[in-house]
Amino acid sequence: MNAMMAQPSTQRMMIGSVLLLIVFLAAWQWLPGLFGIPAFIIPPASTVWDEFLHMLANDRLVYHTVITALQVLAGFVLGVILGMVVGFVLGMSQAAEFMLSPYILALQIAPKVAFAPLFVIWFGYTVYPKILVAVLIVFFPVMINVLGAVRAIDPDIVRLARSFTASRFQVFWKVEFPAAMPPFFAGLRIAATLAVIGVVVGELVGGNTGLGYLLTFGEGAGNTAMVFVAIILLTLIGIVLYAVIVAIENRVLHYLPARARKIT
């Protein structure tokens, strides 16, 4: 009882988070001027807000944000599906892991930024290069987490299931798949942030839509406030996707202790 009372309430944590945000915004607004930092290097928060309103009215900001968000979602979903399938295949087959692991590792080691111009050459200035870069970045953490979870399953549990005449699919569905869920969702949390990075890399390399394009445009125009607006919106996209993953995780893994599913 005393331990429960000692834990901070959700309301107090929310108030603390809001206070930190207020302090951060106040520091952003006034500290650059106090330290003599020019506005073209770090614009005050009010200037960024004014630029945000200007972009809403004149630069199709909503359109560019939606384009980037849809590309992030597509790259995330495709990368997760591919990573999950490959992770299970490698985890259930040592032969497949032995043959494919060197090539998957080489693909991961190769810098993803280097693939973006290649995809632009192949597919042109379309959505495909952005989505493909996101898929490449999302794939590996999901695959590694699923592979590790499958490899960590106690072989005695698998043998016990087979002793009850369970088929290979039943072993997968009743034993291996549930065991992989907690690490799988841990990989999804990582992938949710990486998907935004992948799409932005593709948009920076080639494209005339999306928040990455606005980043490039703001840089070329020397408009630091526009760059800040694009960065903040990209951050919000990542936060929303991360929050959705956490909500789904709490719903799917409801049988786990709450502390094990808490955001760290």
Nearest to 211 by CA among 186, 232, 190, 184: 232
> Do 108 and 79 meet the contact criterion of CB atoms below 8 Å apart?
no
Q: State residue 50's pLDDT score.
A: 93
Alpha-carbon distances, residue 263 vs 12, 169, 225, 244 (angstroms): 17, 33, 31, 13
Write the pLDDT tens digit of every residue in 41-95: 899 999 999 999 999 988 899 999 999 999 999 999 999 999 999 988 888 778 8
Write the pLDDT tens digit of every residue in 171-217: 777 777 787 888 888 889 999 988 999 899 888 887 788 899 999 98
Task: Give the span between the Cα atoms of 184 and 249, in whole angstroms.
Answer: 10
Structural domains of the chain, count? 1
Q: Determine, yes or no, domain membership for 25.
A: no
Q: Determine, yes or no, domain membership for 214.
A: yes
Q: Determine, yes or no, domain membership for 43.
A: no
Per-residue pLDDT band for 242 (boundaries 50, 70, 90) equals: very high
Q: Determine, yes or no, domain membership for 78.
A: yes
Q: Determine, yes or no, domain membership for 37.
A: no
The domain of 67 spans 50-261
Tell me the CATH number at 109: 1.10.3720.10
Write the pLDDT tens digit of every residue in 112-140: 788 888 888 888 888 888 999 999 999 98
Helix (H) or strand (E) holding 155, with range, is helix 155-163
Q: State residue 33's pLDDT score.
A: 83
Per-residue pLDDT band for 263 (boundaries 50, 70, 90) equals: very low
Q: Determine, yes or no, domain membership for 17.
A: no
Q: Determine, yes or no, domain membership for 3.
A: no
Q: Determine, yes or no, domain membership for 9.
A: no
